Amino acid sequence: MALVATGGLYTLFSPGEAEASAAAPPSAAQVKDGQALFEANCATCHGLQAQGSDAAPTLIGVGAASVDFQVGTGRMPLAASAQQAPEKEVQFNAEETAAMAAYVASLAPGPAIPTDEMVAAVSDPERMAQGNDLFRTNCAMCHNVVGAGGALTQGKYAPSLEGTTGTYLYEAMLTGPQSMPVFNDANISPEEKQNIISYVKQVQEQPSPGGLKLGSLGPISEGLFAFAAGLSALILCAVWLGRRSS
């Protein structure tokens, strides 16, 4: 179920590491380092040959992108079995993550880590508008129209995309971590993925001229605020009005 460790979705952590690993092709030494790290840290659940077990899926063919996303956002290694692997403190540095990604990628072909150019937000309004269209159709039902996140079934959730780097957004679409479906390049082309990233970045930079965003959750959070804060203020006014002066 959800605790199997295909990992989570998006992250708040800094990009650096993923982009560094994208450039250099893996060397034999890197793969060897990665294998050592894998056997020490991952093999308990994923198996010594990354073949998977009852507790965790196989990693053969998941590609470097999966490893970079899962380890780079701290979702892996898993701290505890739960409905969903939460984003947490990153356990490995960029070099170690890249080594493990290289090792897993060497097992079988799989999605590679996107390059910096592929994930850079573009400022072309038409492309951002198309990104918005695609986001609305493919992403917004779970992640909310401005990427604020939302609830799924039985305690699972689609995390907020606030502050998530373009690389992790791209990798999540490409690999479909945990509950998220896979959006392969035939479904959403690399250029369209870049458009989506551009939209997400752009919409998150939008200031809120109307005041507090209240989580961008729409009428629910606003209604709660009006109820809790607004009604309390009105009740206080009414109590004061009805009280005799001392």
Distance between CA atoms of residues 178 and 171, nearest Å: 13
CB of 153 to other proteins, least distance (A): 5
Residue in the structure block whose two tokens are 């060397």: 27
Is residue 246 within the footprint of other proteins (CB under 8 A)?
Answer: yes
One-letter identity of residue 141 = M
Judged by DSSP in three states, 157 sits in strand
Cα–Cα distances in angstroms (integers) from residue 85 to residues 4, 77, 126, 138, 172, in the given order: 9, 9, 36, 22, 14
Closer to other proteins by Cβ: residue 36 or 53: 53
Which range of residues in 12-20, 63-71, 148-156, 221-229 is near other proteins by CB under 8 A? Answer: 148-156
Is residue 134 within the footprint of other proteins (CB under 8 A)?
Answer: yes
Which range of residues in 19-27, 72-80, 164-172, 176-184 is near other proteins by CB under 8 A? Answer: 176-184
Distance between CA atoms of residues 36 and 40, nearest Å: 6
Residue in the structure block whose two tokens are 């690993």: 21
Cα–Cα distances in angstroms (integers) from residue 174 to residues 35, 59, 79, 125, 184, in the given order: 24, 15, 24, 24, 5
Query: From the list 15, 47, 86, 150, which residue makes contact with other proteins (rule: CB under 8 A)?
Result: 150
Q: How many residues does the chain have?
A: 246
Is residue 199 within the footprint of other proteins (CB under 8 A)?
Answer: no
Query: From the list 14, 44, 115, 137, which residue makes contact with other proteins (rule: CB under 8 A)?
Result: 137
Query: From the list 119, 183, 197, 199, which residue makes contact with other proteins (rule: CB under 8 A)?
Result: 183
Residues that bind other proteins (CB under 8 A): 1-2, 4, 6, 133-134, 137-138, 141-142, 150, 152-153, 156, 158, 176, 178-184, 186-187, 192, 206-211, 240-241, 243-246
